[in-house]
Amino acid sequence: MRLAIVGAGPAGSRLAEAAARDGAQVVVFDPSHPREKPCGGGLTAKALAEVPAAPASDPMPARFLSTCLLESGAGESVRVGLERPVAIVSRREFDAWLLRRAIDAGAVHREERVVEVDASGGLRTARGERMHFDVIVGADGANSLVRRTLLQPTPTERRFVAAGWYAAGDSEMVVRFLPGVAGYLWLFPRRDHVAIGVGAPLRRFGTRDLLARLEAEVRRDYPGLAPGASRYGHTIPSPSTDPASILELAGPRWALIGDAGALADPITGEGLYYALRSARLLAETLRETGSPVGFPARALADFGHELLAAARLFDRFYAPGYARRMVRYAGRSAAIRDVLGDLVLGDQGYVGLKRRLLRALPRFLWDSALAKVRAA
């Protein structure tokens, strides 16, 4: 199989590595790799499980953390311990590391921009060279050329906007829910700097307004991490509540993965796990059937229902007072802290979240009663 992958980010490089190991002739097109993508760079425990094995001579570049400070945005906070560490990465370093794994497996990286694709497997580069492949995969991000050509752009109402900056210094990992924003602030410490950002639905807020809110919060509470001259902003697409938004992601000779497929969590904007996982599922589909047609159904069965559930829960999750109650209850009860810790790790999904909280209710009531007795 001759496979063209447009985009050398996590989804594209992970697919390239897996497909090349399966014997495909893989060419990855990306003219500006590696680069620092504007995002927090957090890899949950389930995302780490999708990362290829690291050779001893080239370990994965990451900082590992085992606690997260959750803040309600209204004064309450709780520090949640994690059963397994999460990793915080610089995207420039991590993406380059993944691409090295793909090249080690036999994939070829062409530093060229693809300007035209078609559903029959043809593409044209900016240099005017025309080529033909058995399958073309769009792994070219939120504004994917492959998606725009073969499907349609992800609509505004399905986009999360992220904005922020990088600052010298250090911090613990912090997630602060922001009342009135339907989003959250983050401080993610990397190996030699801190990624500071804020995310919210694009349909509700523009980048300038979000940056102003973020800067005010950081200058007030974390003045050592205040912004310099550079800031970033980008959008993160996600599915709707309709399974069709996932089932549309492939044809006989093309497929979309990662952000190009709008495969990100609608509540948090987290996309690295879905980039890596969608790449793996597509590689398995191509190996087993020689065609990408079965990939969307496989993705829906594997993780798609979680994303659809997140889309349905978005308004309830960011309803006024919900985050404040959640943080307050976690401060009183180890049972609720365990739930939040598993959410941070990615171990607790949205589909079973309500049942998990109901099971935790008796212990929460007991912990609350004990806290009142001790305070008396």
What's the rounded mean pLDDT across residues 257-268?
95
Q: What secondary structure does DSSP assign to 266-314, as a single string?
A: TTT---HHHHHHHHHHHHHHHHHHSSSTTHHHHHIIIIIHHHHHHHHHH
Whether residue 97 is found in the same domain as residue 137: yes
Burial class (CB in 10 A: 0-12, 13-18, 19+), 44: buried
Whether residue 150 is found in the same domain as residue 170: no
Whether residue 221 is found in the same domain as residue 172: yes
Exposed e or buried b per residue across 309-319, where buried means at least 16 C-beta atoms within 10 angstroms of its C-beta: bbbebbeebbe
Whether residue 265 is found in the same domain as residue 330: no
Over its C-alpha atoms, the chain yields an Rg (Å, rounded) of 21
Give the β-pairing of 108-110 and 25-29: parallel
Query: Alpha-carbon distance 157 to 160, whole Å?
Result: 8
Per-residue pLDDT for 376 more than 60? Answer: no
Of 212, 235, 258, the residue at which a domain comes to its end is 235
Residue 126: its pLDDT value, please? 97
Q: Residue 13 sits in which domain range?
A: 2-62+89-156+238-315
> Could you give the 3-state DSSP secondary structure of residue 157?
helix
Whether residue 109 is found in the same domain as residue 188: no
- Does any domain span residue 84? no
Report the first-to-last Cα separation within the chain, whole angstroms: 71
User: Between these two residues, 365 and 209, which has the higher pLDDT value?
Assistant: 209
Whether residue 24 is found in the same domain as residue 138: yes
Share of the chain above pLDDT 70, in %: 94
Query: Alpha-carbon distance 239 to 234, whole Å?
Result: 17
Q: How many domains does the chain have?
A: 3
CATH number at residue 196: 3.30.9.10
What's the pLDDT tens digit per position in 97-139? 999 999 999 999 999 999 999 999 999 999 999 999 999 999 9
Whether residue 104 is found in the same domain as residue 226: no
What's the rounded mean pLDDT across residues 185-206?
90
Whether residue 20 is found in the same domain as residue 130: yes
Is residue 344 very low, low, confident or very high in pLDDT (cuts 50, 70, 90)? confident
What's the rounded mean pLDDT across residues 211-232?
89
Query: Alpha-carbon distance 144 to 358, whole Å?
Result: 41
Residue 374: its pLDDT value, please? 58
What's the rounded mean pLDDT across residues 282-293?
98
Is residue 365 very low, low, confident or very high in pLDDT (cuts 50, 70, 90)? low
Per-residue pLDDT for 314 more than 80? Answer: yes
Of 245, 226, 256, the residue nearest 159 (C-alpha): 245
Of 203, 235, 267, the residue at which a domain comes to its end is 235
Whether residue 54 is found in the same domain as residue 125: yes
Of 235, 258, 288, the residue at which a domain comes to its end is 235
